[in-house]
Chains A and B, each alone.
Chain A
């Protein structure tokens, strides 16, 4: 008896048109986000995480295009909405934190103006209240001297400060769900912890759900309720955070966890890279896209595309999944 998901993505596919042909960038991806839930999205660089996030709120620019799929927010079909309706959903109901901070920021307007404009359009506040709220948000994201920050232009801020403004811009309209694309990569560990704390707090206060796209497994471990792993345009594993870290079932997920340099390793640290590189969208191998790099690959992996199947408490797309590891 699942409650109705807040966000439901079904069979989402995205194509890249090049010289008349369609290359699949994202292939038949389905997932749900429950109200108040944090879904972590991780995966190899270029796996399609950002593109999936952008597709949810219809921000793909040519040559990328959604070729199939249904997207529903509390039952409202976003994929059927007119650009006009979509415009009202964006920012107000779905907040977005872009990987490139300058996508959200206008280089020539002051930070204060941008924050106030966003709140004015979505919250209908008076101008006296706007200033107070803008100051409040800058303080909440932990920036010193908020008055200076409000007057500053984006290029006068450090990478991390800019990123925090982008977080404030996405949160200040109090959306139902936030799609956060690498919200903390530009941040140092301490500020990162502070931002994650802030997002958790808002999360509790307002029940905002979140799709947290990141490649930082540490962030996912601390923040996410469930984790979706992407590889070469496919969802290859999805499970509760605990299950995923304790017992990854897909060999790629296991490799990803193994590639993290552990912070408390003694002396000479080593990192174990997964050998080889992820294939580009124009050179996908047949069968399981991971097979050329997979230590468990067998003959059938080269021909059969593994479907996502239920394994234990989660789901994984692998023909020869790792055995379940119980808590040691």
Chain B
């Protein structure tokens, strides 16, 4: 039996919406912070689903809910086939390694927990993993404090790979890495993906990385999924205005034209999302309708879009 797929069904996560004793006395429920709102998608076996979106839009929270680290306040996660072996690479390379453990013990932990190798082979496997992520086997005896941010992130990746997961959650796995090491790690992950048919969720804010790695890409805004399509479609033909703006905001390597293209306006407060479409406060195409009714997630060919209109948003950085 193998993992057949992962279904995320109408998952919501609200922080702090529960009434304490004092509020109950006053008959009030505090307004919670709705970090993830009614998100649904499926990842099929062997697929890499990319997840992008602005800082604070709920990507890590969703990842933690899927990984079983947080209880969702609504909806559920279903694994088709067997209960999978999970591994996760965390966004912060500093808090994700136990500072009191030696690096080889850190990497060996999933191997030992799941008894993936006979005792005598653990050390050899750890050395092999260290090499795969571009560190030296001799680094195993050191403690995490002796490593730079990027080196720590690679240790964290080695630990995740050590667990031989069926389903791998990667939360910004390469944002702490310089481009050359990043390229090495991305190639390693792609190689494993094609050889082992690894199913994974790949969260990143680096659009070129997600384009390189993902089969399909989901775009999140303020806790909601606003667009989901194949990686190629998302980049060559985005349908949601937010997706377009996000693509345009990425800095290129041109040191002469130094204009930056941040998305105009500010991210609204997630505990008080705007009425109607959550993106309307920053959307260049917004109409009166957008303030009244929240747009449903529309199906269009192999794509889902949460916008009232069928737009072909224009690039801002490329003069039309």
Q: Do A and B bind each other?
A: yes
A residues in contact (CB < 8 Å) with B = 42-46, 49-51, 99-103, 142-145, 148, 156-161, 164, 182, 185-194, 196-197, 215-219, 221-222, 241-242, 244-246, 255-257, 259-265, 267, 269-274, 277-278, 280, 282-283
A188 touches B149 (CB 8 A): no
Having A189-B251, A197-B260, one finds 18 other A-B pairs with CB under 8 Å, namely A44-B180, A45-B176, A159-B55, A159-B91, A159-B172, A189-B246, A193-B261, A194-B262, A215-B178, A216-B179, A241-B255, A245-B253, A256-B178, A256-B179, A260-B253, A270-B212, A272-B183, A277-B134
B134 touches A271 (CB 8 A): no
A269 touches B208 (CB 8 A): yes
- Chain B neighbourhood of A46, CB < 8 A: 147-148, 150-151
B272 close to chain A: CB less than 8 A: yes
Identify B269's interface contact among A148, A158, A245, A273, CB under 8 A: A148
Measured CA separation A46–B178 after assembly (Å): 10
B245 touches A190 (CB 8 A): yes
B270 touches A144 (CB 8 A): yes
B182 touches A259 (CB 8 A): yes
Measured CA separation A51–B149 after assembly (Å): 11
Given contacts A144-B267, A218-B252, A263-B207, contact A274 B180 (CB under 8 A): yes
A261 touches B250 (CB 8 A): no
Encode B248-276 as 1/0 by CB contact (under 8 A) with A.
01111111101011110011111110000
A43 touches B178 (CB 8 A): yes
- Chain B neighbourhood of A218, CB < 8 A: 250-253
Encode B172-199 as 1/0 by CB contact (under 8 A) with A.
1001111111111011000000000000
Identify A215's interface contact among B138, B150, B269, CB under 8 A: B150
B41 close to chain A: CB less than 8 A: no
Given contacts A217-B253, A221-B252, contact A186 B175 (CB under 8 A): yes
Kindly name the residue among B61, B251, B271 whose own CB sees the greatest number of chain A CB atoms within 10 A: B251
17 pairs of residues in contact across A and B, judged by CB atoms under 8 Å = A144-B268, A158-B55, A159-B92, A160-B55, A164-B55, A188-B54, A215-B182, A218-B253, A221-B255, A221-B258, A245-B253, A261-B183, A263-B211, A271-B186, A277-B134, A277-B135, A280-B135
- Chain A neighbourhood of B182, CB < 8 A: 215, 259, 271
Q: Say whether chain B's binding surface is mostly helix, strand, loop, or mixed.
A: loop
Cβ of B162 to closest chain A Cβ, rounded Å: 19
- Chain B neighbourhood of A51, CB < 8 A: 148
B149 touches A259 (CB 8 A): no
B15 close to chain A: CB less than 8 A: yes
Kindly name the residue among A164, A246, A259, A273 whose own CB sees the greatest number of chain B CB atoms within 10 A: A273
A145 touches B271 (CB 8 A): yes
Cβ of B224 to closest chain A Cβ, rounded Å: 15
Cβ of A321 to closest chain B Cβ, rounded Å: 19
B251 touches A222 (CB 8 A): yes
- Chain B neighbourhood of A272, CB < 8 A: 183
Cβ of B208 to closest chain A Cβ, rounded Å: 4
Of all chain A residues, the one with the shortest Cβ separation from B150 is A45
B95 close to chain A: CB less than 8 A: yes
- Chain B neighbourhood of A193, CB < 8 A: 249, 251, 260-262
- Chain B neighbourhood of A283, CB < 8 A: 136, 138
